[in-house]
């Protein structure tokens, strides 16, 4: 039965090259200023289910043509009565990965083996698996699996709750499986006649976590004499590094093969590598092509890049040449924050801050250095905000993202003077901007490529270390005018995937590991594209290491997590614990002053703890981590981002000043009363134990009230709630208030053509401006006197907009605005 053991031990195809192991500690390399990070096993936790707010979409992992028949070759209840599937049907099965290799000795698969049937694992180092009338061909190894009638182990169900009902198939525990994980893999069932009844590929994160979890050095490490590289790539068959003298050289000056030990590839080079560039060449089986591919990728732990992330820069962030004057003393010069209850945050976009500011020298407009110019109009504005009580600047994504060329000379932008030539209600402005939106210099930045490097387009020079120095100067300058810095981080998805996408990094190095896949093996897409899987050990480690890097190396003061609910609660808690351990004396920063908050929406494949306990609103009580409160937003403004745009709320006319969409009916009167209750709870920090007298005269807790079928209140302390009515998503606050106002004087037309819905608005600007300003004042007062966080949208001048604008990620900066978050806890 276990004849494959001898094949495994004798086959040169499955030999692991021996090498000197990399140091499990930093060895002779000087340790960077990092605390020791321990990664304990996950613990179980229960929570209340949350609502699903978005439609989950699935992006196929595979670039090949999909089979027209989604194969389940064996109907588990009637396989014995069915004819064997055709060869083409079974061949199609390898396009899917419906089985999970979850531990060293257990494979989970939702399939039956009936009667005298059998189940086998197949492996081919050369990715030669195929099917013919004679059965499966091309394997180097064939191993029989035995079903475990006790089912999956408890630790597997805890890690992968979505496959809790799958069957467990076991390999012999003494089998050395590590070489197999570098191969093309498949499992197949056979009926009693020996005909293949079902087959599929495998997903490997579970077994990779068990066998290759690693806490040693990764990325480039620098000593006085040498530079060393470490890359985690346990499924790779070979890894080489190509060294380039500069960022634009056509050919590498040398190519070096890395040595592997237990999934980590490493090499050591001369000190002269500093200032050069490198790219990894990874030979690895990729399920998207079902081939062994030669992938070229940046270092996941890159700390510097050439323009447009073509190559990784060898750069030692600890070098004194990269530190602005006084950088090492900045921790002692930061503005005081006695507690998170004193926080007030102003949200803005780096390019928008100065792109049109003529008091900024042209070479610095739209970039990091604009924040360092003390006499510019923008910085004067920030100083006024600081003096008025704003404590933090929240910068929209600043890491290396796709969608904007790092080289400004390649931009194709629309001149502002050209746009002024058209009437305010013309469609020509939008048409001109849309025509160049993929080639201009503007993007919000939610297209992550590499999380750990500042975006090159905001720097004076995207090559070399310029972006590092200028980013640090920006942080330092903001601190010196009394403002701390919050970064917008996007760990929930990546822009690229597959072996050939120029924006793909992680999926080239360990294919199928970093990105979350559905039960057919296709990449989940509910965030927007390429969802990441922080439930996997090395994904979580990368996220925590990256946050540690930004905190220590750039001395930032907080993080706003995009779609935080798609990360695991465990990841957020470990992040908080690690950052809180940082001290000014040892690390140059006070980690206890770093505030964490984000979008705790619960939707997609992670909803209701579908992939483990996630960092959603209802799972965060007791953590001290903040989440945005959509309850008070919807009560104040009316409707929701997905509802009718004219649905009124508490401050813009619901029941009392109907706008035509709403009428003064008993239903709207009740909605107004209920909205009052929701606002009252929100002003009390949305605390679940807060007791109020509701609209029916009853004393109830905030958690008893409901919003879209779930409790209104969920927080256990004020720091866990950030109240808001508007941010960079959807319409500006001024626009949405104006649109819903009774005095809007609108004509609302919805024109549907194909898949596109456009809206046309006509209104009287003077009347609208007066009414909208009154409503904005009411909103601001309502939020400011509350006891927790809020968001106020700050437009250039209230009332000067000529028509409603809905902000989108790909637009130019002509119609973008900044926001104020005032966290008054």
* 766 pLDDT above the threshold of 80: no
Topology given in CATH for the domain delimited by 343-502+531-642+668-729+775-823 = TIM Barrel (3.20.20)
Which among 312, 323, 369, 329 has a CA at the least distance from the CA of 553?
A: 323
How many degrees, rounded to 5, is the angle at CA 466 between CA 462 and CA 468? 105
The conformation of residue 768, written as its DSSP 8-state character, comes to H
Say if residues 221 and 26 touch (Cβ distance below 8 Å): yes
Confidence of residue 763 (pLDDT cuts 50, 70, 90): very low
Q: Which is catalytic among the residues 546, 562, 634, 677? A: 562
- For the entire predicted model, the pTM comes to 0.86
Which among 599, 600, 597 has a CA at the least distance from the CA of 624?
A: 597
Cα 763 from Cα 750, distance rounded (Å):
16
Select 4-31+62-96+98-200's CATH number: 3.40.50.2300, 3.30.1360.170, 2.130.10.10, 2.60.40.1130: 2.60.40.1130
Write out the H or E segment, with its range, that includes residue 469.
helix 466-480
The rounded percent of the chain whose pLDDT value lies above 70 is 78
Residues of the chain with CATH 3.20.20.80: 343-502+531-642+668-729+775-823
Confidence of residue 728 (pLDDT cuts 50, 70, 90): confident
Of 21-30, 156-165, 655-664, 737-746, give the range with the top mean pLDDT.
156-165
User: What does 573-640 look like in DSSP terms, one character per residue?
Assistant: HHHHHHHHT--HHHHSS-GGG-EEEE-----GGGGGGBTBSB--GGG-TTS--EEEEHHHHHHHH-S-
What three-state secondary structure class fits 101? strand
Which among 146, 472, 459, 208 has a CA at the least distance from the CA of 309?
A: 459
Cα 682 from Cα 633, distance rounded (Å):
9
Cα 6 from Cα 116, distance rounded (Å):
26
Cα 468 from Cα 490, distance rounded (Å):
20
How many degrees, rounded to 5, is the angle at CA 340 between CA 715 and CA 448? 80
* 726 pLDDT above the threshold of 70: yes
Of 88-92, 131-135, 247-251, 461-465, give the range with the top mean pLDDT.
461-465
Q: Phi and psi of 237, rounded to 5°?
A: -90, -25
Cα 743 from Cα 737, distance rounded (Å):
11
* 49 pLDDT above the threshold of 60: no
Residues of the chain with CATH 2.60.40.1130: 4-31+62-96+98-200
Which among 577, 419, 581, 392 has a CA at the least distance from the CA of 475?
A: 392
Top pLDDT among 767 and 274 is at 274
Q: What is the pLDDT of residues 104-129, one digit of tens each?
A: 999 999 998 877 899 999 999 999 99
Q: What is the pLDDT of residues 375-394, one digit of tens each?
A: 999 999 999 999 988 899 99
- DSSP bridge pairs for 626: 597
pLDDT at site 750: 40
Say if residues 309 and 463 touch (Cβ distance below 8 Å): no
Sorted by sequence, the CB contacts under 8 Å of residue 513 that are 6+ apart come out as 204, 205, 208, 235, 506, 533, 536, 538, 539
Q: Which is catalytic among the residues 210, 520, 553, 599? A: 599
Give the residue-averaged pLDDT of 31-45. 36
* 767 pLDDT above the threshold of 60: no
Top pLDDT among 816 and 487 is at 487
What three-state secondary structure class fits 356? coil
Cα 523 from Cα 515, distance rounded (Å):
7
Q: What is the pLDDT of residues 636-662, one digit of tens each?
A: 999 888 888 889 999 888 998 888 887
* 212 pLDDT above the threshold of 50: yes
> With 0-12 CB in 10 A as exposed, 13-18 as middle and 19+ as buried, what is 215?
middle
* 336 pLDDT above the threshold of 70: yes
* 7 pLDDT above the threshold of 80: no
Beta strand 312-313 with 277-286 is antiparallel
Which among 39, 27, 26, 30 has a CA at the least distance from the CA of 545?
A: 39
Cα 27 from Cα 226, distance rounded (Å):
13
Confidence of residue 3 (pLDDT cuts 50, 70, 90): very low
Top pLDDT among 131 and 51 is at 131
Residue 259 among the catalytic residues = no
pLDDT at site 787: 59
Residue 599 among the catalytic residues = yes
């Amino acid at each position: 039965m276990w004849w494959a053991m001898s094949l495994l031990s004798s086959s040169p195809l499955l030999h692991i090259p021996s090498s000197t192991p990399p140091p499990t500690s930093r060895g002779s390399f000087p340790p960077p200023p990092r605390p020791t990070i321990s990664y304990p096993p996950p613990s179980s936790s229960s929570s209340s289910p949350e609502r699903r707010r978005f439609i989950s979409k699935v992006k196929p992992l595979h670039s090949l043509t999909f089979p027209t028949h989604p194969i389940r070759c064996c109907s588990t209840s009637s396989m014995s009565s069915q004819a064997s599937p055709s060869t083409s049907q079974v061949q199609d099965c390898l396009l899917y990965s419906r089985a999970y290799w979850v531990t060293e000795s257990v494979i989970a698969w939702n399939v039956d083996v009936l009667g005298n049937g059998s189940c086998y694992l197949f492996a081919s180092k050369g990715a030669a698996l195929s099917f013919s009338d004679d059965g499966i061909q091309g394997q180097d190894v064939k191993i029989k699996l035995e079903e475990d009638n006790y089912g999956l182990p408890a630790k597997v169900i805890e890690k992968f709750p979505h496959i809790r009902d799958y069957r467990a198939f076991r390999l012999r525990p003494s089998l050395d499986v590590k070489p197999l994980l570098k191969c093309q893999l498949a499992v197949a069932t056979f009926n009693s006649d020996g005909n293949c009844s079902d087959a599929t590929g495998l997903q490997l994160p579970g077994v990779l976590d068990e066998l290759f979890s690693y806490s040693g050095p990764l990325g480039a490490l620098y000593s006085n004499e040498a530079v060393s590289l470490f890359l985690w790539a346990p499924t790779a068959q070979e890894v080489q590094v190509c060294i380039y003298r500069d960022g634009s050289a056509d050919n590498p000056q040398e190519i070096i093969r890395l040595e592997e030990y237990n999934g980590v590839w490493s090499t050591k080079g001369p000190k002269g590598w500093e200032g050069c560039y490198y790219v990894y060449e990874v030979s690895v089986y990729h399920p998207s092509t079902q081939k062994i591919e030669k992938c070229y990728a940046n270092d996941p732990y890159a700390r510097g890049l050439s323009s447009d992330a073509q190559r990784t820069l060898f750069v030692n962030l600890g070098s004194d040449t990269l530190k602005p004057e006084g950088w090492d003393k900045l921790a002692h010069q930061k503005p005081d924050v006695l507690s998170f209850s004193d926080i007030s945050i102003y949200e803005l976009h780096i390019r928008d801050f100065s792109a049109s500011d003529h008091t900024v020298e042209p070479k610095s407009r739209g970039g990091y250095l604009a924040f360092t110019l003390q006499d510019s109009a923008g910085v004067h504005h920030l100083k006024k905000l600081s003096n008025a009580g704003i404590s933090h600047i929240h910068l929209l994504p600043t890491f290396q993202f796709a969608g904007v060329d790092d080289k400004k000379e390649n931009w194709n932008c629309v001149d502002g003077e050209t746009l002024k030539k058209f009437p305010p209600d013309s469609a020509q402005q939008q048409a001109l901007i849309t025509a160049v939106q993929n080639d201009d210099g503007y993007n919000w930045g939610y297209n992550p490529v590499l999380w750990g490097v500042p975006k090159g387009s905001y720097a004076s020079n995207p090559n070399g270390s310029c972006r590092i120095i200028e980013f640090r100067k920006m942080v330092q300058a903001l601190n010196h005018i009394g403002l701390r810095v919050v970064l917008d981080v996007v760990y929930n998805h990546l822009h690229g995937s597959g072996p050939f996408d120029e924006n793909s990094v992680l999926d080239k190095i360990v294919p199928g590991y970093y990105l979350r896949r559905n039960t057919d093996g296709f990449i989940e897409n509910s965030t927007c594209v390429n969802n990441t899987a922080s439930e996997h050990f090395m994904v979580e480690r990368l996220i925590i290491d990256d946050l540690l890097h930004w905190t220590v190396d750039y001395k930032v003061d907080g993080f706003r997590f995009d779609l935080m609910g798609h990360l695991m609660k465990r990841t957020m808690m470990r992040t908080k614990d690690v950052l809180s351990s940082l001290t000014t004396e040892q690390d140059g920063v006070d980690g206890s002053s770093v505030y964490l908050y984000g979008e705790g929406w619960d939707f997609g494949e992670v909803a209701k703890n579908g992939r483990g306990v996630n960092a959603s609103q209802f799972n965060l009580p007791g953590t001290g981590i903040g989440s945005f409160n959509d309850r008070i937003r919807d009560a104040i403004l009316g409707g929701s981002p997905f509802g009718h745009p004219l649905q009124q709320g508490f401050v813009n006319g619901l029941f009392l000043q109907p706008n035509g969409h709403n009428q003064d009916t008993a239903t709207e009167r009740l909605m107004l009363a209920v909205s009052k209750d929701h606002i009252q709870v929100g002003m009390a920090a949305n605390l679940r134990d807060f007791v109020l007298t509701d609209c029916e005269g009853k004393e109830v807790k905030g958690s008893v009230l409901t919003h879209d079928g779930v409790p209104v209140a969920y927080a256990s302390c004020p720091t866990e709630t950030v109240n808001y009515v508007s941010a960079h998503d959807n319409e500006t606050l001024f626009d949405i208030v104006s649109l819903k106002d009774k005095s809007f004087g609108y004509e609302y037309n919805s024109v549907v053509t194909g898949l596109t819905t456009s809206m046309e608005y006509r209104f009287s600007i003077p009347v609208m401006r007066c009414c909208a300003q009154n409503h904005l004042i009411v909103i601001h007062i309502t939020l400011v006197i509350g006891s927790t966080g809020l968001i106020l949208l700050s437009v250039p001048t209230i009332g000067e907009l000529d028509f409603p604008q809905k902000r989108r990620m790909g637009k130019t900066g002509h119609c973008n605005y900044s926001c104020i978050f005032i966290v008054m806890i």
